[in-house]
Structure 1
Amino acid sequence: MDRKKPHLGTVQETLLIPLYARAVENRKEFPLLRDARAEEIVAAIDYDFERFDGLPSLTGSLLRTVLFDRWVADFLATHPDGTVVEIGTGLNTRYERLDNGRARWFELDLPDVVDLRGSFFTDTPRRTTLAASVTDDAWAAEVARGNGGPFLFVAEAVLPYLDETDVRGVFALLSERFRGALLALDTAGDGFFDTQEEHDALSKVAARMRWYCPDPAALTAWRPGIGVLASHTLTSLPGPLVEELPVPYREMLSVLAAQRLPQAEGYRLNLLRLP
């Protein structure tokens, strides 16, 4: 089989880390999540994935995905005809995991990622790929035309790689175009942002995070009406979700929580309601 060589920008290359994490996890007897599609995609890409073997951050990215999946599933349970917008979708397979047969999905990423993604995914009447930067308001107009909402925007491992000025612009764009929408995002603060050079996964790629956010509650001051609905570290995930994890992962999280490692405590997963 001829494998596809990815030609990705510096930040875009990071999408291969969570992809590989899901592929490796799919091989386990008791995984955090099942993603056979990710395993198929990894096998079809010509890239040195072995550089990420055994890294603790693979588990971290999986736990992030599990929580974001839960938020999407909860949203669709309440709004089965709603719209999910994946910002910086990479090679994510959330649609394959969670689509309910009714929702509208948009998957946004830069042109080089969309080109690679086109080898593995196909648009449908309810699923649309958008090639654009999240900072470009043209994509927002297309999403707004596609459905009246309600909207859930999922920005997984995306916004921390932007400058704060651009992140503020994204917040302004979403708040003005999609009143009352939900936004799931991760933030990097103390202990995580300052140790990127030593980070097990980021040290193996050239990309570095640029937006520092030690306290997600401060985001409520960016625009009147923003509310923080949930904010978790990887060691303080919602109790009901933790109870559903395989036993080895529950035990691991218990040990990590007791250690209070700066890298684990300085990275947060957040669900916001926009004004």
Structure 2
Amino acid sequence: MTINLQSVQATMLIPLWGRATASEKNPDILYDKEAIEIIASCEVDFTEIAKTFGEYGGISYIVRARKIDDTVRAFIQKHPRATIVNIGAGLDTTFSRVDNGTINWYNLDLPDAIAFRQTLITDTPRNNCIAKSLFDVSWFDDVIFNKEDGILFISAGVFYYFQESQLKEMLRAMATCFPGGELFFDAESKFAVNISNRTVEKTGNKGAKMYFYVNNPKVLQSWSPNIKVVSSESYFKGIPVSKQWESGTRLMVRLVDLIKMLKFVHLRFLQ
């Protein structure tokens, strides 16, 4: 199975590379055994990705995965039989790190992305794929869950690629269909989105332009009376800066939080 490298879906290879390479060197932040195994087994040349994203890029991917892991673990501590929906899953491996033996997990992504995923990661009875666009609301019916068991939506590095108007309509629909549910995702500032676009273009990918940004998360509450911001946290909060990292990496980690380039946003859909 091949994938069009001039597409948004191709960006699933970048965080996979980041989690595999950076987690081997920083297991105290995250150790992604499955990503390491996939990288070792798949015939993809990551030379250009490694050259473009470097050490800081890898660190940013394992920190994002760690924050999502922590959020999922906290949620399933309260809701051990919860349903988790991973929006724009790509080659994400979170399930293998957080599974408690009773959660139900769905990986939502475009059909060609899911086809590529399934050549590398096999579905299991509690870890299934939905091959549909986020904006094809028929996927709502594919998610089987009990309201009392809780439902959490996670999304990593995905919302950037959509227009605000598209996301506003989708989140309104999700809030209506999944009252009591929660959503955790990462967001960039407008300044950071501009930088990201230039970085991705350096890899030769012209089909993955980013649009959506969040400067003030409270604005999201104006989208619907059913949307509440639970929290907004700076990207590297709580992550110790290693003296082993390159000076440029240490500087970027501090700068990103100082000028609020990246953040994590946690929403709840009110009942």
- Fold shared by both chains (TM-score > 0.5): yes
**Which residue in 1 is equivalent to 2:166?**
166
- Cα offset, 1:56, TM superposition: 1.8
Q: Secondary structure at the match of 2:220?
A: helix
Maintained 8 Å contact 1:5/1:47: no
Residue 134 to residue 246, structure 1, CA distance change in 2 (3 Å): same
**Which residue in 2 is equivalent to 1:211?**
212
* Alpha-carbon separation, structure 2, partners of 1:187 and 1:90: 17
* Alpha-carbon separation, structure 2, partners of 1:121 and 1:257: 31
1:194 counterpart = 2:194? yes
**Which residue in 1 is equivalent to 2:83?**
83
Maintained 8 Å contact 1:160/1:210: yes
**Which residue in 1 is equivalent to 2:66?**
66
For residues 125-151 of structure 1, the C-alpha deviation after alignment (integer angstroms, 9 at most, x for no partner) is 2222100001111111111x3443410
1:116 counterpart = 2:111? no
The two structures have a TM-score, normalised by structure 1, of 0.85
**Which residue in 2 is equivalent to 1:43?**
40
| Aligned residue type for 2:113 | V
Maintained 8 Å contact 1:8/1:113: no
Maintained 8 Å contact 1:191/1:265: no
* Alpha-carbon separation, structure 2, partners of 1:248 and 1:102: 38
Equivalences, count? 263
The two structures have a TM-score, normalised by structure 2, of 0.87
Residue 169 to residue 38, structure 1, CA distance change in 2 (3 Å): same
| Aligned residue type for 1:34 | Y
* Alpha-carbon separation, structure 2, partners of 1:226 and 1:115: 33
Residue 91 to residue 197, structure 1, CA distance change in 2 (3 Å): closer
Residue 247 to residue 271, structure 1, CA distance change in 2 (3 Å): farther
Maintained 8 Å contact 2:217/2:232: yes
After the TM superposition, which residues 168-187 of structure 1 pair with which residues of structure 2 at under 5 Å, given as runs?
168-187=168-187
Identity %: 29
Which 5+ residue runs of structure 2 have no aligned equivalent? none
Residue 33 to residue 135, structure 1, CA distance change in 2 (3 Å): same
Q: Secondary structure at the match of 2:25?
A: coil
Maintained 8 Å contact 2:83/2:105: yes
Q: Post-superposition, which runs of at least 4 consecutive aligned residues in structure 1 deviate over 6 A?
A: 251-254
1:271 counterpart = 2:266? yes
**Which residue in 2 is equivalent to 1:153?**
153
* Alpha-carbon separation, structure 1, partners of 2:86 and 2:120: 16
* Alpha-carbon separation, structure 1, partners of 2:254 and 2:41: 40
Maintained 8 Å contact 1:220/1:226: yes
For residues 146-176 of structure 1, the C-alpha deviation after alignment (integer angstroms, 9 at most, x for no partner) is 4434100001111110111211122022101
**Which residue in 2 is equivalent to 1:221?**
222
For residues 71-106 of structure 1, the C-alpha deviation after alignment (integer angstroms, 9 at most, x for no partner) is 001001110011111001111111101010001111
**Which residue in 2 is equivalent to 1:104?**
104
**Which residue in 2 is equivalent to 1:33?**
30
Q: Secondary structure at the match of 2:138?
A: helix
Maintained 8 Å contact 1:25/1:32: no
